Amino acid sequence: YHWAGYRILFPEADHIIGEAYSGVSSARLNSVVSAAVVSHEGSSLFLNAEATDLDAHRVRLRTGEEVEGTVVVDARGRAPLEPAAPAGYQKFVGMELEFDQPHELELPVVMDARVQQSDGYRFMYLLPMSDRTVLVEDTYFSDSPHLDTEHLKAEIEAYVEAHDWSVSDVVRTESGVLPMPWSGRVPAPGHGPLVAGYRGGWFHPGTGYSFPVAVRLADFVASRPAESLFGPDFDRFARDHRRQAWFPRFLNRMLFRWYPPQARRAIFERVYRLPRETVRNFYALRLSWRDRVRFLLGPPPRGLSIRHRLRPSTDS
């Protein structure tokens, strides 16, 4: 899916960001990646095959079968980077809904923060999939990982009803809880196995998303022979990612430690008044020193609380 831009909605502001916005469904991604694997000479695709043990050059499956290779990439999903690492959470429930009539949304609404604020910073995310189908997500930047799925479904239904959209079908439902750390160690890959995704620290700490960084890492891996993957180039690549991840972690600390939940919306109202280039670089995790300065210039957003900042914490 491709759109010419996206919208950000606050109680007193409607920002239209004229930057290309794209998305892909999990079904489409699975179809393309699977087809690429099976069509590549020498490749094998194992479905529903759980990996129980692995090292730099070998994977053992639950069936007892072993697969060997020059490099093993461990992309088995999220695991805590450090069990005690302090973090906030982005949590959400999304429902892909089909309506009786066209919804008339021309652009995605990345944040509709006009909703009642609760459990941290709250917003609705609207992704138009067709003229009658929209993914509606109720999202929170919260101190707690607890997710009340049924309550958030009810909130989505109330939001849809308030927009006079009549639902004819619920296509699918999704949910997730994504850590947004502000401290702890970012893993430094060695010489294999290459741990990818959240488990290896390859994600954007300030958005909770891992897909763009995963694509960047996959492109790097695919552009080099497996036998020479690790070395100075890879070390620089990983070091650049860790350097870029530092500033969003600092912003997470500010969001979750310096502002009480009811005041956090003011931070995002400030962010989307920054130059378009800075917003784009933030989402891309390509922040320059000028971008960092722009985030910090001027008086702090309203709601800064010294008392909240000094509350007991396991910060390291």
pLDDT score for 316: 43
Among 257, 127, 109, 280, which residue's Cα sits nearest to residue 207? 280
Q: What is the mean pLDDT of each run of 10 residues along the chain (316 residues)?
A: 94 90 90 91 87 92 91 80 73 97 95 95 96 97 95 97 96 93 75 84 89 92 91 92 94 93 91 92 94 90 70 54
Q: 179: exposed, middle or buried (C-beta count within 10 Å: 0-12, 13-18, 19+)?
A: buried
Phi, psi angles (nearest 5°) of residue 213? -70, -35
Concatenated DSSP letters for 272-287?
TTS-HHHHHHHHHT--
- Measure CA 161 to chain center: 28
Instruction: List Cβ neighbours of 139 (8 Å cut-off, separation of 6 or more).
Output: 90, 91, 92, 122, 123, 124, 125
Q: Which pTM does this prediction carry?
A: 0.87
Residue with tokens 């960047």: 216
Contact 169, 161 (CB under 8 A): no
pLDDT score for 308: 65
pLDDT score for 314: 47
pLDDT score for 120: 93
Question: What is the C-alpha radius of gyration for the chain, rounded to an integer number of angstroms?
Answer: 21
Among 247, 249, 267, which residue's Cα sits nearest to residue 182? 249
Among 155, 27, 134, 30, which residue's Cα sits nearest to residue 91? 155
Contact 264, 139 (CB under 8 A): no
E strand or H helix that includes residue 257: none
pLDDT score for 76: 84
Q: 22: exposed, middle or buried (C-beta count within 10 Å: 0-12, 13-18, 19+)?
A: exposed
